[in-house]
Structure 1
């Protein structure tokens, strides 16, 4: 059964919509959300459709359902703030970029955290690196009950935190730590989303803070370089050298919070100044 785990922190008239990753949970965005709220932002850590339940709950949805839940959350946020920023981790970064591409007049800036177009990090087994073939397998009906199980270090460099997260995940507490594996069909959906977003990158005109672990175990820095190269927007690159994939909770999360708050805040201030001068 799906549990509701999203969060909302009331703040000022600049808001940030935070989007977690595939098989993940809003909990992976909560520390970032608290930090941004402390800096004055209104923050909503949304929950993607089909997530925070079991594998069957997730398999009942696809990427269009996940994106529809992002759009609904953005619509709600737009009634509460003057400037809307969106930030996403891993697959959530792709959904954030798609929202910016589709709604250039509504999205003031994007936090692209550990963007994952392909699972090509150093900890990904060779077999799993062929997961881009999964859309074909799904099309012919092969492998619906199969999953790629998460492997150590689970995207986390901080060993104590890794132990806590892996214990929760392997115990079946998907609301706290997400699912322990990625269902093949859900990964196939993720690759469908990735292909769609990659085509849309030139339509992204909102400024982007592209943050990535330099030693990302799940998605190599090539994913960040793709965003930097293809978007039609000002970009700022933040490489984190003491974190793995889950940069929103890992060792350098405070650096990510500070840079995100500064990046979003400067955009909002410039917009307000321009509006006042008009």
Structure 2
């Protein structure tokens, strides 16, 4: 599928599978992938058949299968494999973590279980009905300002790019109705599986997210089965938090959480023995006797 190669971080045993948003490309995660690689993690940002831009349309079950296959390929090579996703990619990442409980950490960036942000048109709910009409193959939902960006300079740049191309560093210029239909199916499936996800979980969401409201993050926070859970709220970004004003904050927090999750795992796998003072004294006596024998 022309996926970018694995990063060349040296001496790393922790790989991160990065999943971009719906009908988009790995460009959305370029800054985060580069940051994590510089921090010593192996990063992989694949294109997925039927999900990524220019790869056609497939049922969401095949999106999950393709992402799980990418996870499994990494798991063969590295001790720790974490999954990170942006927007609908975060929803897909949660589906992967549900099927692969061995995932070290789950990073959910602007998770989208409902398209309910303040910039979403009121008529979007009608798409599920239109999907079963001849309009299914002709209608496309076109992205519009603010393009997920609070940063006005970057927003202007993206607006120009959207006019020239079908894809930009913050996503596609338009999304086909079949893709939206499958995305809604994926979100519904993940909603019902959150309690079964015990993977260490980081949620990062903008309080002004115009695509997926904070309700999405709060729902995950209240229902996910993770024992190690952290939620971070951003106040100077919109939906595309890996490109907007706080992208460095997002990258740093992701790297920190990945390290903490791996460290906690190492500690739990190699617990320090608990020895009473009396037992320690007896062990020293035995060692002394053995030394004199």
TM-score by length of 1: 0.90
Match of 1:204 in 2: 197
**Superposition map of 1:137-152 within 5 A:** 137-139=130-132, 142-152=135-145
Q: Give per-residue Cα distances to partners, 1:226-257, cap 9 Å, x unaligned.
A: 10011111321111100010001111011111
Structure 1 Cα separation of the partners of residues 51 and 2 of structure 2: 9
Give the 3 Å change call, closer, same or farther, for CA 125–103 of structure 1 in structure 2. Answer: same
Structure 2 Cα separation of the partners of residues 140 and 224 of structure 1: 33
On the 8 A contact 1:5/1:47 being kept in 2, the answer is yes
Structure 2 Cα separation of the partners of residues 169 and 82 of structure 1: 40
Give the 3 Å change call, closer, same or farther, for CA 176–253 of structure 1 in structure 2. Answer: closer
Task: Tell me, yes or no, if structure 1 residue 68 matches structure 2 residue 65.
Answer: yes
Match of 2:280 in 1: none
Structure 1 Cα separation of the partners of residues 78 and 90 of structure 2: 21
Give the 3 Å change call, closer, same or farther, for CA 259–53 of structure 1 in structure 2. Answer: closer
Give the 3 Å change call, closer, same or farther, for CA 24–245 of structure 1 in structure 2. Answer: same
On the 8 A contact 1:5/1:175 being kept in 2, the answer is no
Unaligned runs of 5+ in 1: none
Unaligned runs of 5+ in 2: 273-293
Structure 2 Cα separation of the partners of residues 177 and 224 of structure 1: 20
On the 8 A contact 2:28/2:171 being kept in 1, the answer is no
Structure 2 Cα separation of the partners of residues 256 and 177 of structure 1: 15
Task: Tell me, yes or no, if structure 1 residue 111 matches structure 2 residue 111.
Answer: no
Structure 2 Cα separation of the partners of residues 48 and 178 of structure 1: 15
**Superposition map of 1:124-135 within 5 A:** 124-128=120-124, 130=125, 133-135=126-128
Aligned length: 269
Give the 3 Å change call, closer, same or farther, for CA 101–242 of structure 1 in structure 2. Answer: same
On the 8 A contact 1:49/1:66 being kept in 2, the answer is yes
Structure 2 Cα separation of the partners of residues 21 and 238 of structure 1: 20
Superposed CA RMSD = 1.9
1:77 aligns with one of 56, 74, 78: 74
Task: Tell me, yes or no, if structure 1 residue 92 matches structure 2 residue 89.
Answer: yes
Match of 1:185 in 2: 178
Give the 3 Å change call, closer, same or farther, for CA 141–200 of structure 1 in structure 2. Answer: farther
Structure 2 Cα separation of the partners of residues 236 and 254 of structure 1: 18
Match of 1:48 in 2: 48
On the 8 A contact 1:5/1:27 being kept in 2, the answer is no
Shift of 1:5: 5.2
On the 8 A contact 2:158/2:168 being kept in 1, the answer is no
Give the 3 Å change call, closer, same or farther, for CA 85–273 of structure 1 in structure 2. Answer: same
Shift of 1:199: 0.7
Shift of 1:176: 5.2
Task: Tell me, yes or no, if structure 1 residue 244 matches structure 2 residue 242.
Answer: no
Shift of 1:273: 3.0
On the 8 A contact 2:51/2:179 being kept in 1, the answer is no
Give the 3 Å change call, closer, same or farther, for CA 177–222 of structure 1 in structure 2. Answer: closer
Shift of 1:173: 4.6
Rg larger for: 2
